[in-house]
Structure 1
Amino acid sequence: MKGYVFHGPGQSAWEDVPDPDVKEPTDAVVRVDAVTICGTDLHILKGDVPEVRPGTVLGHEAVGEVVEIGADVRTLQPGDRVLVSCITACGRCRYCREAMYSQCLGGGGWILGHCIDGTQAEFVRVPFADLSVHPLPASVTSQDAVLLADIFPTAYEVGVLNGQVRPGDTVAVVGAGPIGLAAIATARLFSPARVIAVDMAPARLEAARQLGAEAVADAREAPEQLVADLTDGLGADVVVEAVGTPETFEVCTRMVRPGGRVANVGVHGKPAPLHLEELWSRNVTITTGLVDTSSTPTLLRMAAAGRLPTSRLVTHTFPLERMEEAYDVFAHSAETGALKVVLGGPQHEVVPVGNA
């Protein structure tokens, strides 16, 4: 089969790789019908995730069909259409029993495309399949479902739930990429008074407006002043950091009000200053997190009911064999306008959200 293989920083290729098979009785092998590319995959290609070994097939999000199961798999059958979660859960360790699947001690956590071969291939082996894949209702398309493997659970759990968004809050989302846009969409489920989006790209700010942001700010033009103006000088109740740079983290800490919450979602490749000399007296809560995907069943039900604007984040589609081109489009989003690219599934031209 073919897969997208990491060969070291700046080196990758769509090439022949061995077919996966069942290694453990809890495994399933899934034929991949649709995948997407995550910002974390770009971090891997840059060398920011050194534990990923050369020769690893990348990817941790997919929709597909079960083709083989191990002897101990109880909830799946060959032929089932499923969502492959970005997080794998053994279901037995202390953290899994607390629904903190990202910290699984039994061989799970974020392993696909990280510690073992991932989903950007024609087939993928999924360990602990009973807890790590989700059967899909027929009403949810592959293009919609694949966005529930990572970005929507991440934005919802690590941004909105960790940030404790409440009715009437002012929520600022710094970074209007896919995660930030999903945070805007899911924050609105809690009836905030307003959502403010911060980014440098006009197309992404327009996408944020379409997904429910009442105000937008250019990140280069003192966005903290806009937040202050809209809140009578108090600051935002919740600030979601959805970029992962020292500069954006510092902006978030300047935007938050005393007693507010900063929910860090962005993947940081460099140390970020923490100005405790300024923050210690302001009763600010800062949270971090890797997604657990415990919310995926809830989000799937919402998607089936038409309550999540998933497909509006998809700007480009490609067949699987054009993986290298899709990476190039996604990596140069400032020029291409890419939000999420989906490979596989029905192919058709997708109008960028910012121009819809």
Structure 2
Amino acid sequence: MQAIVLEGHGEPLRVREVEEPTAPDDGVVVDVEACGICRSDWHAWQGHGEWVDDVPPEGQILGHEPAGRVVETGVDVERIEVGDRVAVPFSLGDGRCPQCRNGHGNVCEDGIALGFEPAGQGAFADRVAVPHAEYNLTTLPEGLSATAMAALGCRYMTAYHALAHRADLTPGDGVAVHGCGGVGLSAVQIARALGATVVAVDVREAALEKARELGAHETVNGEGAVVEEIRELTGGGAAISIDALGIAQTCRNSVGCLARRGQHLQLGLTTTDERGEIPLPTDSMVGREIDFLGSRGMPPTRYDELLRFVENGAIDPGALVTNAVPLEAVPDRIAAMNEFDAVGIEVCEP
């Protein structure tokens, strides 16, 4: 089959012929109908993450936001059947550790990161193998396209988990979103659906226009006095603020724009400039009782909750999709992220 294989960090990506995957005893093989193209793929390609021992090796098949149809099941799989259309989370739990048993499979103690490690070869490919299928897979509702489901992948469900499960969001809260890439725009739409008053921040007018289209009440140019503008727009500071980019400026602006007892959500991953370390105004955070919360993916056991929001029309992940490309175009689309100019979510349709 064909797949996008990492041949060297920062080296040109290309389509290669690789062996077909086979289903693990407790897993399945999914024929990939669509897979989101995410900035995390760019981080993997660049070799970022050595500061947390999280660099994909050469030979890794990339791609971690797939949806598709099951074409093979392992001998121990009973609930999932050939022909089922399924969503595949990027953070695959084993279903057995204490975190998984308590509903936190996204931080499984022995988890597999799809598309980032040899045990989880990725989904920029014709087909992908998924272990621990009965714990991790969710059957798609009728009428939800694979392209829309791929948009629900890493970025959308990460934003949903952060706002719906990690933060204490209540209707009427002011929510600031710093960085309107895929995860930031997802957060804008979800926060609006959850009843928040949303302020979106970016340096690109096209991204701010998309944020307004998706529900942002106010927008702020990131090159201006971001903290002061958000404090004015929210009447003293946001209740919840999200760094959806992962650079020092957006993280510090996010913390700075919060009201007393506000909550900062860190969704963006850092690059080689920060290497996982960002200085913060610790004493001010203590004095204002600011919460700093990390959030990674979403527990697979809560996918049904997210899909109910989609089915009843409260959120529309398909509205974030701005481009769909064939597999051979994926290398160019990942390389284009060097310029930080893509708007919305791009999806590969192998």
TM, length-normalised to structure 2: 0.92
Q: 1:35 to 1:111 in 2, by over 3 A?
A: closer
Query: Which residue in the other structure is 2:221 paired with?
Result: 218
Other-structure match for 2:267: 265
Aligned pairs for 1:190-339 within 5 A: 190-192=194-196, 194-232=197-235, 234-269=236-271, 270=274, 271-294=277-300, 295-334=302-341, 337-339=342-344
Letter in 1 for 2:97: C
Q: How far does residue 252 in structure 1 lie from its aligned partner after superposition? A: 1.0
2:140 aligned with 1:136: yes
Q: Is the 8 A contact 2:14 2:328 kept in 1?
A: no
Cα distance in structure 2, aligned partners of 1:205 and 1:161: 26
Task: Report the equivalent of 1:43.
Answer: 43
Q: Deviations over 1:160-219 (max 9, x none)?
A: 532221122111111111111111111123322x21001001011011111111110001
3-state secondary structure, aligned to 2:207: helix
Task: Give the whole-Å Cα distance in 2 for the aligned partners of 1:304 and 1:344.
Answer: 23
Provide the C-alpha distance between the structure 2 equivalents of 1:333 and 1:231, rounded to a whole number of angstroms. 28
Distance in 2 separating the partners of 1:160 and 1:91: 22
The percent of aligned pairs where both chains have the same amino acid is: 29
User: Within 1, Cα distance between the matches of 2:194 and 2:84?
Assistant: 34
How far apart are 1:340 and its partner, in Å? 1.2
Q: Which residue of 2 aligns with 1:344?
A: 349
Read off the aligned partner of 1:343 and give its amino acid letter. C
Seen in structure 2, the aligned counterparts of structure 1 residues 49 and 327 have a Cα distance that, compared at 3 Å, is same
> Alignment RMSD, CA only?
1.7
Residues in 2 aligned to 1:244 and 1:138: alpha-carbon distance in whole angstroms: 36
- The one-letter code of the counterpart of 1:323 is V
Q: C-alpha separation between the residues in 1 aligned to 2:303 and 2:239?
A: 26
Separation of aligned partners in 2, 1:236 and 1:202: 22
Distance 1:330 1:138, change over 3 A: farther
Counterpart in 2 of 1:352? none
Question: What are the residue-to-residue correspondences of 1:119-198 with 2, within 5 Å?
Answer: 119-192=123-196, 194-198=197-201
Following the alignment from structure 1 to structure 2, what is the Cα–Cα distance between the partners of residues 290 and 231?
27
d(CA) in 2 for partners of 1:75 and 1:112? 24
1:344–1:212 CA distance, 2 compared to 1 (3 A): same
Residues matched between the structures, number: 339
Contact 1:333 1:339 in 2 (8 A): no
- 1:262: Cα distance to partner? 0.7
Which residue identity is paired with 2:267? Answer: V
CA distance in 1, matches of 2:233, 2:225: 13
- Out of 53-62 and 322-331, give the one that drifted further: 322-331
Kindly report which structure 2 residues correspond to 1:38-77, keeping only aligned pairs within 5 A, or say none. Answer: 38-50=38-50, 51-77=55-81
Whole-angstrom CA distance in 2 between matches of 1:219 and 1:163 = 24
- Alpha-carbon distance in structure 1 between the residues aligned to 2:340 and 2:230: 27
Partner Cα distance (1:212, 1:235) in 2? 19
Q: Map Cα deviations across residues 33-75 of structure 1 (whole Å, 9 max, x no partner).
A: 1111111111111110343110000111111111111111111
Q: Does 1:13 align with 2:19?
A: no
| CA-CA distance at 1:328 after TM superposition | 3.6
